[in-house]
Amino acid sequence: MDPSYQPNLSHCGIFCRDVEAMKRFYCEVFDMQETDRGVGFTFPFTIVFLSGRNDQHHQLALASSRGPDSPSTVMQLSFKVQTIDHLREARKRALALGATKMRGLNHGNALSIYCLDPEENTVEVYLDTPWYVSQPHGDPLDIDLDDAAIWLETERIVRSDPSFMPVAEWSRRFAARNAAAQSVLRA
């Protein structure tokens, strides 16, 4: 086995009822833009490709074949941001474009907001914290509090969890487990 083999999840696709409404939501909330569109040869429906990065052709593919009464099968689409103010901006944009069921969750290792997009797919916007606690973990998060209060409360929460450690320590342990697993595969 090639030791450099390390697949990276890079994009996902979802079936939509109204591709144009979904395109507008994701472009305006997450500053994505359409990179291509067309009817597929093996997928006989319209696919709209969206990206927010110039080094990635698409991060999200919207496909036009979801039935009018079909429920969402998306557990969640997650978008990473860098600051609490970015969470607030995403919330403002998403609500202005029809998002529903907005809520905040403090996972200890991440601060997140969740909502439903216009077709009731769950969307998460999150930022990492410098701490690890075992998952799933979810305490209420009020992003209307000032940043200092949010960080203070988050640190209090994570330090009271028996699985707490700095994320750098979790990363070191993950790397060691991964190296051990790779050596077993090569043996």
Are residues 58 and 119 both part of a single domain?
no
41, HSE (Cβ side, Cα atoms, 13 Å)? 0
Are residues 94 and 177 both part of a single domain?
yes
SS3 assignment, position 52: coil
Alpha-carbon torsion (15, 17, 19, 25), positive or negative: negative
CATH number at residue 170: 3.10.180
Are residues 109 and 93 both part of a single domain?
yes
pTM of the model: 0.88
Domain, as residue range, for 33: 11-70
Are residues 147 and 81 both part of a single domain?
yes
Are residues 43 and 92 both part of a single domain?
no
CA dist 85 and 147 (Å) reads 8
What pLDDT, on a 0 to 100 scale, did the predictor assign at position 1?
45
Domains of the chain: total = 2
**E strands present in the chain:** 12-15, 33-39, 46-51, 60-63, 77-80, 100-106, 110-116, 122-128, 131-132, 139-140, 165-166
Are residues 85 and 150 both part of a single domain?
yes
Structure tokens that stand for 156 in this block: 């209090």
Among all chains, which residue has been given the structure tokens 């030791």? 3
184: left (phi over 0), alpha (psi -120 to 50) or beta: alpha
**52, 70, 88 — which closes off a domain?**
70
What does the pLDDT profile of the chain (187 residues) look like in tens digits? Answer: 455 666 677 899 999 999 999 999 999 999 999 999 999 888 889 999 999 999 999 999 999 999 999 999 999 999 999 999 999 999 999 999 999 999 999 999 999 999 999 999 999 999 999 999 999 999 999 999 999 999 999 999 999 999 999 999 999 999 999 888 877 777 6
